[in-house]
Structure 1
Amino acid sequence: MPPILTRLKFFPDTLVPIMIGIGLFCLIFSISVINPRNIGWLDNSDLLQHYLGWANYRDAPWTWPLGANSQYGHLTSSSIVFTDSLPLLAILLKPFSSLLPEKFQYFGIWYLVCFILQAYFAWLISKLLSNQFWLRFCICILLGSAPAFIWRVGLVGALASHFVILAAFYLTFTPDKKARPLYWALLMALTSWIHFYLLTIVSILWICSLLNQAYKAERLSQLINFSIQCLTIILLTLLFMAAAGYFMALGVGSKHFGIWRMNLFAFIDPDSWSYVLPNLSDSSIRLQIYEIEGRRFEGFNYLGLGLLCLSLLAIPSWFKNLSPIWLNIKRYRFTVVACLLLLVFALSNQIGIGTWHYDFAITQPWFDLVSIWRGSARMAWPAYYLLIIFILWGVTHSYRPKLKFWILSLTVLVQLGDSSAGYLKRSHQMATGGSSLTHFESPLRDPFWPIAGAHYARVLKADPTLYYSPLAKFALEHGMETNSASFAREDETKKALESKFINEALRLGPLDPMTLYVISPNSLIALSAVFNPQNDLLALVDNLIVLAPGWKNCQTCVLPKNGDGSNLKEITIVEPTLNTGQLIFFKEKGEGINYLSYGWHSSESWGVWSNGSEAQLVFPKIPLGAKTLHL
């Protein structure tokens, strides 16, 4: 080993992984995202959801649960848990909201923290595999730059926190039992304030670690101690979950298990993250199968070219060390079995092998239960990291020291170099994510909007076909309450009540004078009973139909005139007429869409679906002599 590398072992131990984490972050991603005032790169579906959740939460009043976000979502509001807004940082920063800049994001900083902590726990694990500094250095880089971890950066902020999985593995494998229950309790509590999927994984690894120890227990007192530890940590975790607001939305099940599953080739499928290896599953086929238009496959768990090559060199060592491998499997039997079962769960009931696809049915009660973890591919992460550790163990327990040095050094270069085919694209997307650092782009540019934002206290979206973000950005800009919000999970009961509340106001009245309504074209006929053209404004503005109660009698609401930069066009409600014997079609461009009030999807080429337990058709006066309506 070169003398300079030998001298590096005297470098302060705790600073090594910190430098590695910072170095990997700077190598792979744009440091511009660390700027807390830079929000432009967050203007995409998931990151925007996280930011809007935080931005509304920071100024919401303190209540219990601590994570309650009453400002965002109107009647469907829940907590920052359900916008994936990193409750850990949101709750800690909320008391200092008045001291923070108006536009402030912490997701870029969190990514940097994730890189540092990923490297830190990788460094601790490396100590269990080798006592040679340079080998540990390479191991730290390989675990700290795992493609499955880097893939999450720039997508869902909280899910980039893979360091909690490495921390769980370290607590499982470390021979140092001092204060281990305390560390597990801390890890569980903190993970509950990061993300539910990670909490599920860490909880399973913790229970397995406890079972590994309990299985070897020789005295009853040890089992009693383990039971007390288990109960204490569960109660502490539930308390943290309650404080974050996990239990504010109860009917948050999903019906999409299997959509975001893992392909059986995922560990070796580069999915455009390699210059050398071909893709093993076709994206267009995936999108056709899963109907996730414009979205990447959730099951990206590619090991990387460097680790795949290293696994081939580890195979002889595995055969040579079958006895110690079997002893370790028995020592950590519950952990190994759990990782394998989670891997099977990640495959779901929609088995994919490359481009081949097979479905098998599961009973409805089980389907409803497992759909809580609809992104089942994420449950493969423990097996993913355990496999990497197993590969590194095989190499470090074979070959001569000098040869190991060159093997792992070359592996690092191949891994980082070849994976740059993927992470450089992600870095470019994050660096050029928005045209403005401090503002989001919005299609709502008419002068009407700032005037309405200054007058009304809330804006409610009554058209389910509209995308949430334009009105959500508008509401945030003007400090308005809104139901135009995006959540990872929604309480279906609250959602139904919200729809009923808005539609009854539009159908029966009274209209709230402090609410701006954005409605569907299908709702115009139903408005005739509550709309007062002498007092209210009904207009088309930036391709949205708005109903502004009391606008025409508002002293500060000066109606923009055409030619003054406004494209506002007032709408007159014209009730359609019916004739005896007339056929009415509800398909696209059919006259029947004029009679659709609420509870309907958008019309399609064949007709229209209802989208709830209640839907309404509104007809004008029935022609004389007509007695029967056939549907």
Structure 2
Amino acid sequence: MTPALPERTRRMLGSAAASVAANAGPLGAAGVGLLAFLAIYGPAALDPTRLGWLIRDDFSQHLLGWLFFRNEPWRFPLGAIDGYLHPLGTTLGYMDAIPWVALLLRPFSGLLPADFQYIGPWMCACLMLQGASAAWVARRTGATVAQQWLVGALLVLSPTLLARMSMAHEALCAHWTLILLVGLHLAPQRDARDAKQALGIALALCVFAAGVHPVIAAMVLALALSLCARTALERKLPWRWPVLGAVVHVGSVLVLFYVLGYLGTVRTLGAGSFGGFSADLLAFVNPLGYQRDFSWSRFLSPLPRQGAQYEGFGYLGLGVLFALWAALVLVVRDAPLVARHWRRWVPVALVALGLFFFALSSRVTLRGELIADLTRLYAPVMRWVEPFRSSGRFVWPLYYLLALGAALALIRLPKPTVAPSLLALALALQAFDVNLGRGHQAKEGPAWNTQPSDALRELAVGREHLVLYPPQMHDGSGRGCRAGPMDFHRWAYRAYRLGLTFNSGYVARLDDARAQSYCLGLDDDIRAGRLDPRTVYLSIPQRLHEFRAIRGTRCVQEERLWLCVLEQAPAPPVERAAP
């Protein structure tokens, strides 16, 4: 006979089974997110030791931020990186390297392999949390397990999220935080406990988003503040609770921005070109994404837009558009019910519409054609809005309010038996319509994470720096010095493997004055023969003659560049006697 399990073990197993059953909806929707990730990128992207597929687009910048951070001592601000873009330095935040993840892994860096990435696992987690969050919100509104799965799967197939993954913007893939906050607005607050829980979740999301990406943090903070307003209107708590919550939300984000180095590390946060990276008025029905020859819809034709308005991409998908149409019919038929719940949707609707207005920027367009110039309106506050020059991204709160709100409205149909059928139809339309496309797989690119050569290893012995000459250091606005080779990533990787600093790189924000001063000073030093014996210089062929003119230097060719070092101190210049 099989021995009976101890009572304590049986209780634990029973509790675990009950927990799984209670969370079957979010867990199932998370599984849909996992399947979607595997369909797009494949299982190889989950291998943390596989780096070759990260050579394209911005992935390499984000990866190098994490790699160089591994060689750094702990200092303030948290996430400071002195070895990349040396001697200017930067931070994890300005490398879009998801600071919270890097800081969490840093104590274990010595146990991790030298080639280690978390970009693939992070994007997979975002897709899984996208589905789980939508399903969790649906459960809070009374949905069945099947309905939770359908809502979660529908939100997993959001072209806006999938487009961010294809654009190599993994830090901007935490859309599940927006879904949770929008959902907390739409879910009922039955008592004070529900209200306190909602404010606590909002605070946790503000703290989390501040260490992921400033754009995500700004949207999360705006939605958290509107949740405080909704809580005040519900009157389930004394007014001081939502007021205190609003103060704590704002304070926590600002403090973390300072601690993580977003504030105080560069002279200006402005990026220029505000109004170019905007959203079009037809963003929600335009399937044209980042690539001009690629449509995210298999059925709808792309609409015209301006060149950089891919940042305002917000195509809902045919399934969500169908759900939205059905929800509008329901709203018209049951307007008194919607009016009775105005406290739930009015605060979040006002904030989402306000952010959508900001997404349109100072140059409002329709089908790519300018219809309103609001430059004078933005002029007094340009200093504050310019850091978010990619304003088009701020369509996301309204995007998820429409998508999630439509799906939840279908659940509340007068005939509950019809809801699963309509949700299933919406999901089928979304699945058939959304074009997962070509070129989004985690395919190996040209080998860039190759080991340092024997010659470079030999020259690096006893030295601390690898200096590309001329440098290639710039930010998203083109500020800095851009005379050096564009394929600097391979040399940055080799510097990381050798424990050397590297003087070039691409970051989100750069102190242009310091960059220009460094680049001009480097020119003056080399032309004057002042080489640093602790440095390996990496010169383009056109500037090799400057090193060969310096006594005591040795140069060897490495691929298409030249490695030069000062092997002995140059003789002091002979002073001529005065005539």
* Cα distance between partner residues in 1 of 2:530 and 2:279: 50
* Cα distance between partner residues in 1 of 2:446 and 2:541: 32
Give 1:392's aligned amino acid. A
Structure 1: give runs of 5+ residues left out of the alignment. Answer: 1-7, 291-295, 554-631
Q: Which residue number in structure 1 is paired with residue 390 of structure 2?
A: 375
Greater gyration radius: 1
The answer on 1:343 being equivalent to 2:329 is no
Q: Bigger shift: 81-90 or 60-69?
A: 60-69
2:210 to 186, 192, 201: 192
Q: Which residue number in structure 2 is paired with residue 578 of structure 1?
A: none
Q: Which residue number in structure 2 is paired with residue 609 of structure 1?
A: none
1:126 Cα deviation from its structure 2 partner: 1.0
Give the count of matched residue pairs.
Answer: 523
TM-score by length of structure 1 reads 0.76
* Cα distance between partner residues in 2 of 1:457 and 1:9: 58
Superposition RMSD in Å = 3.0
8 A contact 2:48–2:117 mirrored in 1: yes
Q: Deviations over 1:90-134 (max 9, x none)?
A: 001100001111111111111222122212210122124443332
1:86 to 74, 89, 98: 98
* Cα distance between partner residues in 2 of 1:234 and 1:198: 14
Q: Which residue number in structure 1 is paired with residue 479 of structure 2?
A: none
Query: Partner of 1:177: helix, strand, or coil?
Result: helix
The answer on 1:277 being equivalent to 2:300 is yes
Q: Do the aligned partners of residues 23 and 132 (structure 1) sit closer, same or farther apart at CA in structure 2, a change above 3 Å counting?
A: closer
Q: Do the aligned partners of residues 403 and 223 (structure 1) sit closer, same or farther apart at CA in structure 2, a change above 3 Å counting?
A: closer
Kindly report which structure 2 residues correspond to 1:409-488, keeping only aligned pairs within 5 A, or say none: 409-419=424-434, 421=435, 423-425=436-438, 427-428=440-441, 430=442, 432-434=443-445, 440=449, 448-454=455-461, 456-463=463-470, 464-465=482-483, 466-467=485-486, 468-488=488-508
Q: Which residue number in structure 1 is paired with residue 7 of structure 2?
A: none
Q: Deviations over 1:540-571 (max 9, x none)?
A: 65333654333899xxxxxxxxxxxxxxxxxx
1:241 to 257, 266, 271: 257
* Cα distance between partner residues in 1 of 2:493 and 2:245: 46
1:331 Cα deviation from its structure 2 partner: 4.4
2:400 to 378, 382, 385: 385
Structure 2: give runs of 5+ residues left out of the alignment. Answer: 1-16, 289-294, 471-481, 571-579
8 A contact 1:193–1:244 mirrored in 2: yes
The answer on 1:259 being equivalent to 2:259 is no
The answer on 1:403 being equivalent to 2:423 is no
The answer on 1:544 being equivalent to 2:548 is no
8 A contact 1:298–1:377 mirrored in 2: yes
Q: Deviations over 1:215-242 (max 9, x none)?
A: 5659xx9343433333334333333333
Give 2:143's aligned amino acid. N
1:326 Cα deviation from its structure 2 partner: 3.4
Give 1:17's aligned amino acid. P
Q: Which residue number in structure 2 is paired with residue 164 of structure 1?
A: 177
8 A contact 2:178–2:219 mirrored in 1: yes
* Cα distance between partner residues in 1 of 2:266 and 2:410: 48
2:522 to 480, 502, 505: 502
Q: Which residue number in structure 2 is paired with residue 515 of structure 1?
A: 535
Q: Do the aligned partners of residues 479 and 441 (structure 1) sit closer, same or farther apart at CA in structure 2, a change above 3 Å counting?
A: same
* Cα distance between partner residues in 1 of 2:153 and 2:170: 21
* Cα distance between partner residues in 1 of 2:343 and 2:238: 20
1:168 Cα deviation from its structure 2 partner: 1.6
8 A contact 1:65–1:243 mirrored in 2: yes
Give 1:210's aligned amino acid. C
Q: Bigger shift: 341-350 or 14-23?
A: 14-23
* Cα distance between partner residues in 1 of 2:430 and 2:384: 38
Q: Do the aligned partners of residues 543 and 261 (structure 1) sit closer, same or farther apart at CA in structure 2, a change above 3 Å counting?
A: same
Query: Partner of 1:222: helix, strand, or coil?
Result: coil
8 A contact 1:263–1:347 mirrored in 2: yes
Kindly report which structure 2 residues correspond to 1:36-75, keeping only aligned pairs within 5 A, or say none: 36-75=48-87
* Cα distance between partner residues in 1 of 2:368 and 2:242: 46
Q: Which residue number in structure 2 is paired with residue 146 of structure 1?
A: 158
Give 2:521's aligned amino acid. F
8 A contact 2:284–2:316 mirrored in 1: yes
The answer on 1:211 being equivalent to 2:229 is yes
Q: Do the aligned partners of residues 10 and 450 (structure 1) sit closer, same or farther apart at CA in structure 2, a change above 3 Å counting?
A: closer
* Cα distance between partner residues in 2 of 1:414 and 1:100: 43
Query: Partner of 2:365: helix, strand, or coil?
Result: strand
Q: Do the aligned partners of residues 383 and 369 (structure 1) sit closer, same or farther apart at CA in structure 2, a change above 3 Å counting?
A: same
Kindly report which structure 2 residues correspond to 1:531-570, keeping only aligned pairs within 5 A, or say none: 532-537=549-554, 541-544=558-561, 547-550=564-567
Give 1:267's aligned amino acid. F
* Cα distance between partner residues in 2 of 1:342 and 1:112: 27
1:278 Cα deviation from its structure 2 partner: 1.0
1:20 Cα deviation from its structure 2 partner: 2.4
Q: Do the aligned partners of residues 11 and 181 (structure 1) sit closer, same or farther apart at CA in structure 2, a change above 3 Å counting?
A: closer
Q: Deviations over 1:57-91 (max 9, x none)?
A: 01211112221112211122121011011111100
8 A contact 2:183–2:404 mirrored in 1: no
